[in-house]
Amino acid sequence: MPDQEKIVFTRAEEKNGQGTSRLRIAVIGGRETVMGFKALGLTTCPAANAQEAREALRHLTRDSEDYAIIYIEETLAAQLSAEIDIFKDSPTPAIILIPGREGSIGLGQSALKQAVERAVGTNILGD
């Protein structure tokens, strides 16, 4: 009897894990970029260069499944495209590029362009 109860319990837990579980959001970027997000309660990973950003990304995606959204600063993401592309087809995590302190360099738009090109076969947005 106690065995059965245990099984029921773990199943309920699993279901909870897949449904509306408590997930977290992370931001990878330069120290100044990340600072503000910390106050909002997001997990922040300051990274000074691409190498550090790569390690942070690896850490966030491999060691835990808690992170559903990861925001990455464009300037760093430019050098991590291979790593970012891996997650394009999986439902989680969503990796979203955000502009850094210096303003947008247009890389964020590239995700849009890539998706359109992939789906339609050509860029029909005209830019």
Question: Where does this chain bind other proteins (CB under 8 A)?
Answer: 19-25, 32-33, 35-42, 68-69, 71, 88-89, 91-92, 94, 96, 98-101, 103-104, 108-109, 111-112, 114-116, 118-121, 125
Residue 5 CB, nearest distance to other proteins (Å)? 27
Q: How far apart are CA 26 and CA 4, in angstroms?
A: 38
Terminal-to-terminal C-alpha distance of the chain: 66
Q: How far apart are CA 1 and CA 64, in angstroms?
A: 34
Structure tokens at 123: 């860029």
> Sign of torsion, CA 43 32 78 107?
positive
When the beta carbons of 55 and 85 are compared against other proteins, the nearer one is 85
When the beta carbons of 2 and 41 are compared against other proteins, the nearer one is 41
Residue 3 CB, nearest distance to other proteins (Å)? 32
Residue 9 CB, nearest distance to other proteins (Å)? 22
Strands 94-98 and 43-46: unpaired
Residue 4 CB, nearest distance to other proteins (Å)? 29
When the beta carbons of 36 and 49 are compared against other proteins, the nearer one is 36
Q: How far apart are CA 46 and CA 56, in angstroms?
A: 8
